[in-house]
Amino acid sequence: WTGKRPLGGVALAAAGALAAYEWNRQAGPRAAAGLSVAYVAAFAGSHPLAKKVGAWPSVFAVAGGVATASWAVTRRAAQR
């Protein structure tokens, strides 16, 4: 929307920090660290995937993958 790519990085970092805070609160520091690694890896992996399937399908695929992992990890922690 803005044409400024660095602003996307700021938004990604802010969302990741908020997510890491919630993961830590809900499932503990080990889960938060693992999910944070998955979040960063998904972002990095979305770029080569976008070259094959397109930008938005790639975004939806990696966001869905991290969301599913987040749900599974925090749900498991809540059951303990």
Look at residues 34, 53, 44 and name the one whose alpha carbon lies nearest to residue 12: 44
Tokens of 2: 């803005």
pLDDT digits (tens, 9 = 90+) for 14-65: 999 999 999 999 999 999 999 999 999 999 999 999 999 999 999 999 999 9
Q: What is the pLDDT of residue 1?
A: 65
8 pLDDT more than 90: no
- What is this structure's pTM? 0.86
Q: What is the domain extent for residue 15?
A: 5-79
What is the separation of C-alpha 43 from the centre of its chain, rounded to a whole number of angstroms?
7
Q: Which residues contact 48 (CB under 8 A, 6 or more apart)?
A: none
Q: Based on the structure, what is the number of domains in the chain? A: 1
Dihedral angle of Cα 41, 37, 9, 74, to the nearest 10 degrees? 110
